[in-house]
Amino acid sequence: MRGEGGAEVPLLFLLLLLLLAVSGCLGALEGHGPVVEVEPPSRVHFSNSSGGRLDCRGGGSPPPAVQWTLSDGSAAPTVSGLRYQMANGSLVFPPFAAADFRPDVHRASYRCVLSSALGRAITRDVRLTAGNLTHSTASIVFIFLQKNANIVLQKFANFVLQKFANVVLQKIAHFVLQKYANSVLQRKTLLSLFLRKENANFVISKRKFKFKKIGNSFSTAFSGKV
């Protein structure tokens, strides 16, 4: 092969040019598939008064697109006022009224899908639970009472007995005296017996035992239901 002025162009030089051209094309196609860099935890809970958000980020060349899907693989579309996707890929759940609660939006499983021309990556399932704050607080209190019924009842019994034991004993004493005592001397004797410290402690101990039995029964009845 000859160049300008009749000079011969070496074949090796042509091969080198061809190799450079091919390398340039391959360089333009270089890259890697999507990789998950940020994903939400497996369970997310928020109240209707605060709202919530699921974050998802990924890397790759070219940069992957972010899409959220439901547990069946279908896309999670925008639901006006309840669910939408931000430009950075985060799925947002704005605060909502209790009457606007929707199980398919606020109590559902989601997955983040990162995709590009070189493949895709899928995050783990995220179980979302949203609810009314008042309802959630009541549930927490009820669960606490179920697990600690015996302790709560004993504390309550101790408080009531320590606070009102003397009043109760005096009422009982006056009732018995009015009904059964025939003389002033008998009344004074019975009154002193009823109000003796030993008798008061005995009554308090009996009451504590009774409340303890009630607490045990209450705990047994609710065990296994939490």
Instruction: Judge whether 199 lies within some domain.
Output: yes
- Considering only residues 5 and 186, tell me which one the structure prediction assigns the higher pLDDT: 186
Instruction: Judge whether 9 lies within some domain.
Output: no
Q: pLDDT tier at 41 (50, 70, 90 boundaries)?
A: very high
Picking from 74, 109, 131, the residue at the C-terminal end of a domain is 131
- Considering only residues 122 and 137, tell me which one the structure prediction assigns the higher pLDDT: 122
The share of the chain scoring above pLDDT 90, in percent, equals: 42
State how far the Cα of 115 lies from the Cα of 192, in Å rounded to an integer.
Answer: 89
| Residues 160 and 200 occupy one common structural domain | yes
- Looking at residues 136-145, what average pLDDT do you find? 55
Q: Which amino acid is at 209?
A: F
- Is the separation of the CB atoms in 200 and 165 below 8 Å? yes
- Phi first, then psi, for residue 83 (nearest 5°) are -160, 130
pLDDT in tens, 160-188: 666 666 666 677 766 766 666 666 556 66
Question: Looking up tokens 């302790």, which residue turns up?
Answer: 151
The share of the chain scoring above pLDDT 70, in percent, equals: 47
Domain CATH code at residue 55: 2.60.40.10
- Looking at residues 126-153, what average pLDDT do you find? 66
Picking from 131, 166, 183, the residue at the C-terminal end of a domain is 131
| Residues 153 and 215 occupy one common structural domain | yes
At residue 149, does pLDDT exceed 90?
A: no
Domain that holds residue 212: 138-222
How many structural domains compose the chain? 2
Mean pLDDT across the chain, nearest whole number?
A: 75
